[in-house]
Amino acid sequence: MAVKLPIYMDNAATTRTDPRVVEAMLPYFTEKFGNSASRNHKFGWEAEDAVDLAREQAAALIGASPKEIVWTSGSTESNNLAIKGAARMYARSPEGTKGRGHIIAAAHEHKAVLDPCKRLQNEGFDVTFLQPPADGVITRAMVAEAMREDTILVSIMWANNEIGTINEVPEIGALCHERGVIFHTDATQWVGKMPTDVEKDHIDLLSWSGHKMYGPKGVGALYVRRRNPRVRLEAIQDGGGHERGMRSGTLNVTGIVGFGKACEIALHEMDSERERLLNLRRKFERELSSRLEVTQVNGHADRRMPHILNISFGYVEGESLLMGIKDIACSSGSACTSASLEPSYVLKSLGVGDELAHSSLRLSLGRWSTEEEVDYAVEGIVKAVNHLRTMSPLWDLYKEGIDVSKIEWQTH
Amino acid sequence: MAYSDKVIDHYQHPRNVGSFGTSKEVATRKDVGVGIVGAPECGDVMQLQIKVNDAGVIEDAKFKCFGCGSAIASSSLATEWIKGKSVDEALAIKNTQIVEELSLPPVKIHCSVLAEDSIRSAIADYKKKNGIAAATTQEASAH
């Protein structure tokens, strides 16, 4: 089968919207365009029914009750609402004072978790950012050790977006419940791909997003536990009191319909999809590691999402590698594209050397990835890495047996 | 980010890739000057080797580069420009000329600076090996 170019291998960034999702959404643009808050005509009722169905679909995917779903614009908003909303609600002392409470998060969380935490630090909260070990997995023991008498909130992502590693979320959730601490998880890369049950997994707040699971962009959800314990949040966006006052603003009915449909499809197809993607990723990893010297798969060997492969190719810079594989859409941990010269903070937090962090690619597979595409990508990457190594002074030094890390470089 | 056609051309067909020997071999050769600038943790390392004849003319130049496409293009272009030039003429090359020739965006200016540094560093090495006063190369360390 001929491979259609360019190949999309950046599904951890966003996914193609499933055509079945688009089909479900279409009537809600032009025919059933009502405002779900309009209580006195058919247009409003239709929209409300659609939103209710989507709420059931979303709740079913994570084992929640439909009443526990709050619609948002995506994971960034869900994370902001969960973290700031819970911290401010459960603060131990009023605004403007110190010692308002202690929060625990991981240092390799997404910026949409780190930055709200940093803002809370400025508001008088103490935040501990847990340094992940070399395999990237945050364990229950690490969180337990960081817990204090005044800890009010723990936020640990379920699966990491850059390296795909899976944290001990159910165990951490259980710990939080034993200690009476609110537990939030950014499950953006997890939900829709792995089985999720907020009861068994002891989760109080869970963020996820439509566009990472073959739904539309601009719509997300926050699960907010209603009993044992009932979690309350201080709203960030005030207005018409939508979503039980937690998130005002006219609902994105069309997007929500798509989100619900994407959840329904994921619930039915995730088991077979997971198996298929895992096999593809394993092949990808095996081929690259066996055909190229000095490669390193970043993150835990097994505790990893089936669709994400983060791999470093020694002595080759990531951005130039991307240039050499133009018809394979993926991302790099190299920061050469940004103004700073700092490579990926996620890889750095695992203790991956700067040089190997600059040399990394994140390849993430999805619903439409094929074996032929993986084969094509392997050929392309092997060729590009070899081409760049013939040009790399570091590769020469390595081949001469000189330890590149022992050289004193003139840094700028 | 979109690259200029010239950057893409240098990336795909780099000019003068290579070296005049291993790092140990060139260390003792008086006709060869070696400049290595940058650092792996910054994502850029450029190595420039120049072969200078008795008349002080750069007869040949070879580069190797670990870095982004703009860094590769900057060092490739530098080898083209210095070949056939006297050592002093080569020292007159400014990073701004490289920026202009390759249409580098602001975030990539450091690539051109590295290329200029590599020229200065290779010439300084050549002069040092041959006991030539390096007055004109002092500013190389100013970056």
Interchain proximity A336–B23, CB inside 8 Å: no
Q: Considering the entire predicted model, what is its pTM?
A: 0.91
**Which one is catalytic: B27, B39, B42, B107?**
B42
Interchain proximity B110–A336, CB inside 8 Å: no
* Closest residue by Cα to residue B67 from A406, A391, A362, A378: A391
ipTM of the complex: 0.88
The dihedral through the CA atoms of A305, A311, A317, A321 has a sign that is negative
Confidence of residue A114 (pLDDT cuts 50, 70, 90): very high
Express each pLDDT in A152-165 by its tens digit. Answer: 999 999 999 999 99
Distances (CA, A) of B84 to A38, B36, B142: 79, 21, 27
Express each pLDDT in B31-72 by its tens digit. Answer: 999 999 998 888 899 999 999 999 999 999 999 999 999 999
CA distance A20 to A22: 5
Confidence of residue A84 (pLDDT cuts 50, 70, 90): very high
Express each pLDDT in A293-303 by its tens digit. Answer: 999 999 999 99
Q: Which of A320, A400, A404 sits opposite B67 (nearest CB)?
A: A320
Interchain proximity B39–A358, CB inside 8 Å: no
Q: Which of B17, B19, B68 sits opposite A320 (nearest CB)?
A: B68
Write out the residues of chain A at the interface with chain B, using a CB-CB cutoff of 8 A. Answer: 315-320, 323-324, 334-339, 341, 343, 353-355, 358, 390-397, 400, 402, 404-405, 409-412
Interchain proximity B39–A412, CB inside 8 Å: yes
pLDDT on residue A382: 98
Interchain proximity B40–A341, CB inside 8 Å: no
Nearest chain A residue to B13 by CA distance is A387
Mean pLDDT along residues A168-186 = 98
Interchain proximity B23–A397, CB inside 8 Å: yes
Residue A340 has pLDDT above 70, yes or no: no
Distances (CA, A) of A410 to A90, A120, B61, B93, B142: 50, 39, 22, 21, 12
Express each pLDDT in B77-102 by its tens digit. Answer: 999 999 999 999 999 999 999 999 99
- A-proximal residues of B, 71-130, CB under 8 Å: 71-72, 107, 110, 113-114
* Closest residue by Cα to residue A176 from A225, A209, A115: A225
Residues 6+ apart with CB under 8 A from B18: B62, B63, B64
Nearest chain A residue to B76 by CA distance is A391
pLDDT on residue A109: 96
Q: Which residues of chain A make contact with B21, given a CB cutoff of 8 A?
A: none
- Percent of chain A with pLDDT strictly greater than 70: 97
